[in-house]
Amino acid sequence: MYYFLAMLALTDLGLCLSTLPTVMGIFWFDAREIGIPACFTQLFFIHTLSLVESSVLLSMSIDRYVAICHPLRYSTVLTPARIIRMGLSSVFRSVLLILPLPFLLMRFQYCHSHVLAHAYCLHLEIMKLACSSIIVSHIYGLFVVACTVGVDSLLIFLSYALILRTVLSIASHHERLRALNTCVSHTCAVLLFYIPMIGLSLVHRFGEHLPRTVHLLMSYVYLLVPPLMNPIVYSIKTKQIRQRIVKKFEFIKSLRGFQQD
C-alpha cells in the first residue's frame, strides 16, 4: 500500500509542477502568453500524468481487493518487484497513448482566437482553436479516454463489487466495518479524481454557453483539488502516517524550544 501511496504522491506532485509555470506566471508576473512548443509540452505532461494517476488508482484498488479477498496470498501476489512493474507499465501506457496528441495538434492551422480559457494547455481546448478538420484528433482523444480512464473506472468498480461481496460474507459486524474502513481512503481518492475529470470534460463538450467562471473553476478543481486533498485524506485515515506526522511536528517544536533556550 505504501508503494502505491508513494506513486500517487509523485503523480500529484508532477501534476502540480506541470501547471506551476503558467499559473504562477499569470498570478505573479501577469505573463499571459505561452509559446506553442511550451504549450504542447505542458499538455503532454498534464494528460500523461492524469492517465498515470488513473492507473495508480486502479492498482490501489487491486491492492485492496487482494488484501481483503485473498489476505493469505497478499505478500506472494503483490511483491515489490510486481508493484514496480505495475508502476512502470502505467507510465509506459500513458506516455505511448498521449505522445501522438501534440503531433496531431501540430498539423492544424489555428485561425480562431488564440485565447485559452485556462491557465494551462488542455487538448480539448486547443483543438477547438483549429480552423481545419479536427475529426481525427477528436476520435483519437475519445479512444484514449475510453481505453484508459473508461477501462480503469470499470475495473475499479468491479474490484469494489468483489470486495463488497467478500465483506458481506463475513459473519462478524466488527470485522465487516474494519475491512470496509481500509477502503475509505482509496474511495475518497477515486471520487476526488474522477468527479472533477468528468465534470471538466462535460463542461468542455456541452457547456459552451456557461459563464467563463465555471470553466475556470472546473479547471482548477480538476488539477489542484486531488493533489491538495489526497495527502489530507490518507493522513487522517492511515494511522501510521498520522503518527509520523505528529512525531515530525513534535520534533520541530522541540527544536524551536531548544533554540529559544
Asked if 32 contacts 131 with a C-beta cutoff of 8 angstroms, the reply is: no
Residues 6+ apart with CB under 8 A from 64: 159, 163, 182, 183, 186
Asked if 203 contacts 222 with a C-beta cutoff of 8 angstroms, the reply is: no
pTM across the whole model: 0.87
In the chain, where the domains are located: 1-258
Q: What is the pLDDT of residue 256?
A: 65
Q: Residue count of the chain, please give it.
A: 261
Which regions of 29-78 does DSSP assign to beta strands (E)?
none
Low-confidence ranges of the chain (pLDDT < 70): 112, 171, 251, 253, 255-261
Q: What is the pLDDT of residues 204-218, one digit of tens each?
A: 777 777 777 887 788
Report the topology of domain 1-258: Rhopdopsin 7-helix transmembrane proteins (1.20.1070)
Q: What is the pLDDT of residue 107?
A: 85
Half-sphere exposure in the Cβ direction for 22 (13 Å, CA): 24
Asked if 112 contacts 130 with a C-beta cutoff of 8 angstroms, the reply is: yes
Q: Residue type for 131, please?
A: C
Q: What is the pLDDT of residue 174?
A: 82
DSSP classification of residue 150:
I
Q: What is the pLDDT of residue 255?
A: 66
